[in-house]
Structure 1
Amino acid sequence: MVLVITQETFDEAVKENINEFGMSTDEAVEDAVKQFESQGVDLSNIIKDLMISKPGDTNTISSTVTELANFVKDKNTVKPEQYREKLEVLKNECDKGLEYRVFAGKEGAYQVIMDVMLKNDVNIELIKDCLKTLVALMTKQPDLLDDKGIQTMINFLDKQKDSEVQRFILKWIKECCVMHELNRQHIFEAAVLDHLKPLLEHASSAMLRDVLAVLRALVLDDDVRVEFGRSHEHARTIASDTLCSITVLLSKFKTDEPLMSDLMLTLSSLLVRNEFCKKVEDAGGLEMIKDVMITFHEKEKLAKQCFKLLKALAGNDEVKTHIIQKDFAPVITSTLNRHKNSVQIAASGLACIAAVTLRSPDNSKALFEAGVPEVIADCMKLHPEDVNVQKNASWAIRNMVSRSRYQNEKFLSFGVEKILQQNLKKFTACEYDIKSALRDLGCDVNLKEEWTGKGGKLTTQAKVK
């Protein structure tokens, strides 16, 4: 169990080191850190260079929050510039790290910023500063969000037409959804999707990236505090309403590299049902993906996203067949070969090949004729210590040869048997996958029988009444 302490406890320990042992401030902080860490205390949320208060002094965060609160009470005599100056100070403090944001949250910064924003809701520039500060405050600290904050998000998306304000609202929503399942559910239940759908049709490229980031955040499943989330339900609802619109954007913004990456990443996260894959294909998705792979053939990030999206689409057997029928085999092979030095692309490309060839000898044949066995072997040789590359390569080989044993000789000629045998010793967690590849390659492998009966006769007894 991880131990935690308050900021006050840490500060008291530092003061004691200074007053009782005559240490300098730096020495006192260093000693306090060592002492607490030796006791197993987690200091990630503790500000270690916080100014030690002297009589009459206060730290920057506390004093700034207090001044903003006083400004709100005395609204009529406070100028917007005064608010903006203090908000900038608070934002800069929050940008220093999570420990500063946690301390600001404990000092009541969230409620004060909300009060400033709602009591000055006609001043666009001041609203922007409030939103920027909220984003800084709540990054990796979404617990601060309350019902008033969610309602403010929805109201601003509905009424504020300034594009910058809308973008800051979207960034705020996204940060509040990351690692917080209840926030995601409450924001989704507030009908945020109804306000996001129009933006998909009319927003600029920059705003579209923020909208897509929110959509992906709403389907995350990253809150360890919750046993069961609603990521699948959210993805299903979002996909039903937006898949076609998002797919069309691939053609509309086909020269915008960053947006193309976000579009494909978002599509991949929404393909949670078989029929959604067909929906993307029917909207022209396969042709657009192929164009991206050819147009941006040198871009590693886009290559990775294309492989991930193709893997997701191959979950539908009909779409999987069409992928190869649309002559993707040479494109997949050449793209993976071009970027095989990248461990991430090697892993995602091999996973894509495994998905496209699963129970599909025709697809396997097309990739085989395109020269993919040599590329698979090259990826294994280039990344011998990466478990994901080796595991995905095992899947790809197994799926390629399981119904096409004529390919065995070609794979073996590139030395994959030796690599797989070495992987058995290095990667025990994926022993089954490696042995499956060796088995289907016709190599000697010691297969372990997972379950055996004891040979006893099964009997049943009926109760006689």
Structure 2
Amino acid sequence: MVLSISQETFNNAVQENITDLGLSPEEALEEAVTQFESQGVDLSSIIKELMISSASSANIEEVVVKLLNLNKKKASANEITNQLEILKTECDKGIQERVIAGKAGAYNAILDTLINNKNDVNIERHCLKAMISLMTKQPDLLDEKGIEIILSNLKKEADYDLKKLSLRWAKECCIMHEMNRQKIFDSHILENLKELLNDGTSDILRDVLSVFRGLVLDDDVRVEFGKAHDHARIIASEILCPLTGLLTRFRSDELLIFDLMLTVTSLMVRTEFCKKVEDAGGLDLIRDVMKAFPNNEKINRQCFKLLKSLGGNDDVRGHVIQKNLAPIIVTALNENKGNVGTAVAGLACISSLTLRSPENSRAFFDSGSPAVIVEVMKMYPDEKQIQKTASWAIRNMVCRSKYQSGTFIELGIEELLHKDLKKFKDIEYDIKAALRDLDCKVNLREEWTGKGGALTTGLSRE
């Protein structure tokens, strides 16, 4: 299990280095990082910035105290919203301000304000905005009372803005916090989200989709085993068909289409879900989306990723080609090859769809994929991920369709792959596999002779 610490522990260590050792703030920060890393602590989720000034800290604490006092008397709406705006402004400055506010009791102060003014929508909106700012990258503050408020604001009769803000609050609570995800999911939020999915506008649907994705994250290093797969399985069973229907309903909404593709891809955790998407007309919709947005890198990248996931089902993989998607995929890769991430996703998509499928390989070959693959490799000679995924695509295309090798050789692939061998030692296996299946000269080594000793990485023959 990965060793981890809280932001508070890290901040306290920096402060101790300043007060006890007499170090400057910069030296104290550097010493704390060195100390924790030497102990094997993962600091990827820790904000490694200098501590804020005592003046800023005092200002935040004063605002929280004022807000708590306003809750004890019948203060005017203007007084309350003014303090909430000040608190939000302070929290928006950075994580350190948010940590100070959290320590000062800002979370309970905002919750109390929400509860005491539940019939004043304007104050509620200001409370939720301040809460989102407070809890951004600081999800530990959430408690059962907060979850109850989120759920109550997602009911059908709730104010539109309160729904949107509560969805954003829920999403922030899910990021990098496994226990929050489980508590929110176990509160049956799925029922509320399904209602919004059916009745929501394009604007609110994007926030609903972000919560679905938040619930299937697996990014909390403090937890060895999470429930991301279980959440994805249950959510997919409930909403895959409605999501596919939304692709049809909002096919011209560029931003929502991207979020829909992103969400469907995040739910593709089982092969039967691939068939479910296809049965709902998903392949036709993906084809239409790629045709409608041929030059949108983000949308095409997500379409590539979704098609790669769908290719995990052998039947669906064959149907992708029957829907005449091969030339569309090749064209989209060629049109959007200027973006590294999109190019990697396109190459991985071709690799997935041609795996153990000579028919699919022929379709991509006839669509001109060899020239595009080689062109992408030439564009990014120093991008390891490009060279790796291209090697996969080449290997899968030619291993059962040897007639394609000559075309790749004529395009200069052998020279490119041999250059990669010298440049990228850690993907040697992938490059040699492509050279081997192209029937090019390559030095292969035996992985295990059966005579005892440790296994070594390599290919299975000399």
Same fold per superposition (TM over 0.5):
yes
Match of 2:15 among 9, 19, 31: 9
Indicate if the aligned counterparts of 1:10 and 1:46 stay in contact, CA closer than 8 A: no
Give the percent of matched residue pairs that are identical in Structure 1 and Structure 2.
50
State the AA in 2 paired with 1:304: R
Task: Please state if 1:275 is matched with 2:272.
Answer: yes
Letter in 2 for 1:35: E
Distance between the aligned counterparts of 1:8 and 1:152, measured in 2?
36
Greater mean deviation of Cα atoms: 217-226 or 381-390: 381-390
Is 1:186 the equivalent of 2:189?
A: no
Question: What do residues 73-112 of structure 1 show as CA deviations (whole Å, max 9, x unaligned)?
Answer: 22x2x01111100010110111111111111111111111
What's 1:415 paired with?
412
> Structure 1 residues 48 and 9 mapped into 2: Cα distance closer, same or farther (>3 Å)?
closer
In the TM superposition, what are the counterparts of 1:298-337 in structure 2 within 5 Å? 298-337=295-334
Structure 1 match to 2:42: none
Q: What is the distance in 1 between the residues matched to 2:418 and 2:180?
A: 47
Report the CA distance shift for 1:12/1:326 in structure 2 as closer, same or farther (over 3 A): closer
Question: Which one-letter code corresponds to 1:4 in the other structure?
Answer: F
TM-score, scaled relative to structure 1: 0.89
Matching residue within 44, 47, 57 for 1:44: 47
Cα distance change, pair 38–222 in 1 and its aligned pair in 2 (3 A): closer
* Closer, same or farther: CA 430–455 of 1 in aligned 2, 3 Å: closer
Q: Alpha carbons of 1:138 and 1:92: their partners in 2 closer, same or farther (altered >3 Å)? A: same
Per the TM alignment, residue 9 of structure 1 is displaced from its structure 2 partner at its CA by 3.1
- Superposition pairs for residues 5-154 of structure 1, below 5 Å? 5-6=11-12, 9=15, 13=19, 32-41=24-33, 44=47, 48-52=51-55, 59-74=58-73, 76=74, 78-154=75-151
> 1:202 aligned to 2:194?
no
- State the match for 2:459 in structure 1: none
Return the letter of the residue paired with 1:65. Answer: V
Structure 1 partner of 2:232: 235
Length, aligned pairs only: 436
Question: Partners of 2:235 and 2:419 in 1: how far apart?
Answer: 44
Superposition RMSD in Å:
2.2
Structure 2 contact 167–207 (Cα < 8 Å) conserved: yes
- Deviation, 1:425, is 2.5
Alignment of 1:239-388 (within 5 A): 239-388=236-385
Distance 1:446 1:12 in 2: 58
Higher Cα Rg: structure 1 or 2?
1
Contact conserved, 1:296 with 1:302, CA < 8 A, in 2? yes
Q: Secondary structure at the match of 1:407?
A: helix
Residue aligning to 2:41: none
Q: Structure 2: how far apart are the matches of 1:71 and 1:59? A: 18
Please give the per-residue CA displacement for 1:413-455, whole angstroms capped at 9, x wherever unaligned.
1111122122223222222111111110111222222222128
State the Cα deviation string for residues 235-264 of structure 1 (Å, max 9, x = none). Answer: 000000000000010010000000000000
- Cα 1:91/1:284, change in 2 over 3 Å: same
Please report how far the alpha carbon of residue 47 of structure 1 lies from its aligned counterpart in structure 2 after TM superposition: 5.5
Counterpart secondary structure, 1:158: coil
State the alpha-carbon separation in 2 of the partners of residues 95 and 251 from structure 1: 38
Offset, 1:48: 3.9
Unaligned runs of 5+ in 2: 35-45, 454-462
